Amino acid sequence: MPDWLKPGWLLGLFALIFIFLLAFTYEQTRERIAIQEQLRLEAQLKEILVAGSYDNEPATDVLEIEGDKRTVYRARLQGQPVAALFKTVAKDGYSGSINLLVGIKPNGELLGVRALAHRETPGLGDEIDLRRSDWVLDFAGRSLRNPMPDDWAVKKDGGVFDAFTGATITPRAVVGEVKKTLIYFQAHQHELFQ
């Protein structure tokens, strides 16, 4: 090999080693992140579900609803439906999307609601976060009969749900998405557990 070619070969070799190391690290990290996300999801589902009320693994009993951007986790007891837990998105938060978990019992009653991820303003819109306030706990036990659909709104819009001081946009978005999820559940309940 002529002398002038040697640096090129060396450089190529180093580049190859570097690419290999990068790919290897990425693969390792990706796997670990996926495991962490799955564990986090399991914990979040457990937070809404009543312990002992189901005997399957809801985190792996998944239904992806195409085109609807909703994922449903199903809880069952001896094969019978116990709850549908929707991972859904309120798109009209103050700072964009708010990822929600909405748990619904077969009778259409809410088991619970949690904000999974959001970028609402600390001190204004972040009261949807259970670490900041217990506002989301007001949803448990509610349904499209409690209150009736027309009253599924924040008080400022004539509904029954509290807003936050100086921040109506965030709770309006969450109440709206929870209501939409309840309506979706009512219309598709029978397909959801097949």
Q: Which residues bind ligand FMN (CB under 6 A)?
A: 94-95, 120-121, 124-125, 156, 166-170
Nearest approach, Cβ of 116 to ligand FMN (angstroms)?
16
For the chain, state the CA radius of gyration.
23
Rounded (5°) CA angle 2-7-9: 85
* Residue 184 · residue 145 · CB < 8 Å: no
* Residue 178 · residue 150 · CB < 8 Å: no
Nearer of residues 97 and 168 to ligand FMN, judged by Cβ:
168
Nearest approach, Cβ of 94 to ligand FMN (angstroms)?
3
Which residue stretches of the chain are H helix? 6-48, 169-192
Nearer of residues 120 and 129 to ligand FMN, judged by Cβ:
120
Nearer of residues 104 and 120 to ligand FMN, judged by Cβ:
120
Nearer of residues 71 and 168 to ligand FMN, judged by Cβ:
168
| Tokens 């457990």 sit on residue | 46
Nearest approach, Cβ of 130 to ligand FMN (angstroms)?
16
With CB atoms as reference, the residue minimizing the distance to ligand FMN is: 125
Nearest approach, Cβ of 123 to ligand FMN (angstroms)?
9
Helix (H) or strand (E) holding 74, with range, is strand 70-77
Q: Name residue 40's amino acid.
A: R
Nearest approach, Cβ of 104 to ligand FMN (angstroms)?
25
User: Can you read off the two tokens belonging to residue 129?
Assistant: 């976060």
Nearer of residues 122 and 141 to ligand FMN, judged by Cβ:
122
